[in-house]
């Protein structure tokens, strides 16, 4: 089973909303991720993407990328969203598609923070759609297991 499949299964089993959304990881690299969720279970009264589902898919994309980075580097940490802001620019009329990436420098700083200070932060810009129709800026906080912050 691929790393993407294992991570997707973990997310869908431990975060019930993601299963209801039919959340999928379409592509996963060390520094990038692409996820999607079909429009039908994530639509609003207008037949476009429900804002809460758009936000959730974007948050999950970033969380999945951070979780993957930690796992690939064998760093055990609890991961939470420290802060997030979203801008909705246009209706999402098809499947929710989110993408996020980081670079080697940001990744190294994130991992170094967890290893050396017990806490690392990674800020990600997550695009929803091609426009993008929405843009989420989120900071994820990883706290080394056994530390309180």
Q: Tens digits of per-residue pLDDT, 40-92?
A: 999 999 999 999 999 999 999 999 999 999 999 999 999 999 999 999 999 99
Rg (CA), the chain: 15
Cα–Cα separations (whole angstroms), residue 21 to 51, 58, 123, 138, 143 = 13, 12, 24, 20, 28
CB-based contacts of 59, cutoff 8 Å, min separation 6 = 81, 84, 126, 136, 138
Q: State residue 81's pLDDT score.
A: 98
Omega before 134 within 30 of 0, i.e. cis: no
Q: What is the pLDDT of residues 20-31, one digit of tens each?
A: 999 999 999 999
Q: Which position has the higher pLDDT, 146 or 33?
A: 33
- Alpha-carbon distance of 119 to 115, in angstroms, equals 7
Q: State residue 148's pLDDT score.
A: 55
CATH superfamily of 3-144: Hotdog Thioesterase (3.10.129.10)
- Alpha-carbon distance of 102 to 68, in angstroms, equals 12
CB 18 within 8 A of CB 5: no
């Amino acid at each position: 089973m691929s790393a993407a499949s294992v991570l997707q299964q973990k997310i869908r089993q431990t975060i019930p909303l993601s299963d209801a959304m039919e959340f999928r990881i379409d592509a996963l690299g060390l520094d990038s991720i692409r996820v999607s969720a079909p429009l039908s279970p994530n639509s609003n009264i207008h037949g476009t993407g429900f804002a809460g589902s758009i936000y959730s898919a974007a948050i999950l994309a970033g969380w999945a990328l951070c979780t993957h980075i930690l796992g690939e580097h064998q760093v055990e940490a609890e991961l939470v969203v420290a802060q997030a802001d979203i801008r909705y620019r246009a209706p999402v009329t098809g499947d929710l598609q989110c993408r996020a990436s980081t670079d080697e420098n940001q990744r190294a700083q994130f991992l170094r923070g967890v290893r050396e200070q017990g806490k690392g932060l990674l800020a990600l810009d997550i695009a929803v759609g091609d426009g993008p129709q929405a843009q989420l800026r989120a900071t994820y906080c990883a706290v080394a297991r056994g530390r309180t912050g």
